[in-house]
Amino acid sequence: MERRKFYKLVFAASSLPLLSLKNSPRLGKILPSQKTSLTKESKIGLICPGSPITQEKLDTAIENVSIFGFNPVFTKNVLLKKGYLAGSDQERLDDLHEMFSRPDVSAIWCIRGGYGCTRLLNQINYKLIRQNPKPLIGYSDITALLNTIHQKTKNPCYHGPVASSPMTDYTKAMLTPILDNIFPHEINISPNTNEHKPYTIYPGIINGRLAGGNLSLIAALEGTPYAINSKNKIVFIEDVGEKPYRIDRMLTQLLESGFLKQAAGIILGEFADCEAKDDSSLTLKEVLLDRLQPLKIPTVYGYSFGHIDNQCTLPIGVLATLNTEKQIVTLLGE
């Protein structure tokens, strides 16, 4: 189909009658904070709340939504570019609010992270979101939206692939049960891990609610009204392209602020491209052991999330069990 005609069909779909989801059968237990269920043909709103995307990334996002049997919708702003931002703050905010306010949109999937989400936090209409709950999905810069929106509204927020991510078999297998509200649900590390093999920093088994995301964003939110609450939480952390000394600096900040000391456990994803380029540096593993082992809370490195192809999906605020020996996270649900 000609691309221009296809996009006209996508936009036209937004004017179709509302698809009723009230009595749709689902496979799993529906959690109180996740009552919005998805069915085949549900509409998924695609947004860019951070950095801009290319036509190619939009095409990939549309294809990925279709893989799950859903219908992608987006606004005229989706390809806007203002330097390193996907349009002005107001334009990106308008898209976020539009997708939450539209009754025909069942979930919102961010196409890309990048930078820009923290600029929106003090302008978001949290009352609107609270009154129109629906899953919000993404990672990286989307960390700011996921945690802040969940803390203020209890809206279901899923740390998972962005809509333009490679949709590997593992990624699909990890996202599908979350979209289907199937709990309990076990998350195992992908067998196709990169050179960073998983290892335990401190052993143990712990229960707690999930919170976290990108290390740079977690650190940036500290000291603001949108700081992530880590008390008694299982905190999950990842980053990309940061040298060991920068990882050290951010972890040290989170230690001194009390963020890590209040956590019940820590799940570290794959820190892609974070190894030192020369022999004069500490290794990433040395930094993680030095900064986190003294906490004496269950901590494991190498879980399948972050800036990698094979990604699991971690729902913010959901009760989970971390077993470092078996390297398994079990999502228990509400």
- Residues carrying an active site annotation: 140, 238, 307
CA distance 307 to 255: 24
- Give the tokens for residue 182: 């199937």
Q: Are 111 and 58 in contact (CB under 8 A)?
A: yes
CA distance 69 to 208: 33
Query: Which phi and psi (to 5°) does residue 224 adopt?
Result: -115, 170
* Side-by-side strand order, sheet with 205-214: 185-188, 328-333, 319-323, 205-214, 233-238, 265-268, 299-301, 199-202
Q: Shortest CA distance to 74 belongs to which of 108, 114, 41? A: 108
Beta-carbon count within 10 A of 243 CB? 18
Measured between alpha carbons, how far is residue 181 from residues 150, 159, 177, 202, 224 in Å? 17, 15, 6, 31, 32
CA distance 62 to 334: 31
Which residues, other chains included, contact 178 with Cβ-Cβ below 8 Å and sequence gap of 6+?
Answer: 158, 160, 185, 313, 315, 331
- Give the tokens for residue 70: 């859903």
